[in-house]
Copies of this chain bind each other. A is one copy, B any other.
Amino acid sequence: MVKIQELVELTGTSESTIRRDLTQLEQGKFLKRVHGGAAKLQGKLQEPSMIEKSSKNLQQKQRIAKFASSLIEEGDSIYLDAGSTTFEMIPFLPNKDIVVVTNGIMHVNSLLEKGILTYMIGGYAKPKTKALIGRGALESLEQYYFDKCFLGVNGIHPEFGYTTPDQEEALIKQKAMKMARESFVLADRSKFSEVSFAKIGNINESMIITDDIEDETLNNFESKTSIKVVTS
């Protein structure tokens, strides 16, 4: 990782320029901005690990997660996607008679601890996101139908739809949406107007649950799908 001040001294240019260049490089997925400077990416496609994600915007995530959980009704069969935001839903899940299917390795234990009837799909265990993906996962998913499906994504764009860095994971999310009567995408504001590598589906295929969003952005989306903005 490099500090911004280092770059200033090294290049002899202003802090502003360094910042601008860094944000540009970040958009091009060449590095990641961190407080005080920038760090190199882990893999080819930028993908925050479970650890990195979990500690970020925790309160917003919990607010979103809490509302999402409130949508669940007695007797529902639920798909819970791997990922940190859906993970936060677990404490808020109703103690009703529900069934949860998940591909999140971190999720299972918490679900069981909460006494919830839980199924996992099979598949390749991806170390970074702790998600089950691949052929096995896809075939497993075909065994279940869901009333509601809760997904995390990396990008939401009015034209390009829902996206995520890993193609394989996109396939899973896609299939989960297909198998569900209703889909909900959980996303904080940072995901809006972003486009990641692999497409999951069109914007109108899911309802979006978010916590706080600019009016301008909201208008862009509202005509295309329904958005629930959670305010506490």
Interface residues of A (CB under 8 A from B): 24-25, 27-30, 45, 47, 51, 54-55, 58, 105-106, 108-109, 111-113, 115, 118-125, 127, 130, 132, 134-137, 139-140, 143
Contacts and interface: CB of A to CB of B under 8 A. Distances in A.
Nearest to A111: B125
B25 A55 contact: yes
B112 A132 contact: no
Contact of A125 (B30, B119, B127): B119
A27 B29 CA distance: 28
Nearest to A126: B112
26 contacts: A27-B55, A27-B58, A28-B55, A28-B58, A45-B109, A105-B120, A109-B130, A111-B125, A112-B127, A115-B127, A118-B125, A119-B124, A119-B134, A119-B136, A120-B120, A120-B122, A120-B125, A120-B136, A121-B122, A121-B136, A122-B132, A122-B137, A122-B140, A136-B140, A136-B143, A139-B143
A184 to B, nearest CB: 23
Contacts of A137: 122
**A-B complex: 6 closest residue pairs judged by Cβ atoms:** A122-B122, A28-B54, A122-B140, A118-B125, A28-B55, A121-B122
Contacts of A47: 112-113
Given A55-B27, A108-B105, A143-B139, A119 B119 contact: no
A45 B108 CA distance: 11
Contacts of A51: 28, 30
Given A105-B109, A140-B140, 11 more contacts: A27-B55, A29-B54, A30-B54, A105-B120, A109-B130, A111-B125, A112-B130, A120-B123, A121-B122, A122-B140, A139-B140
A130 B112 CA distance: 9
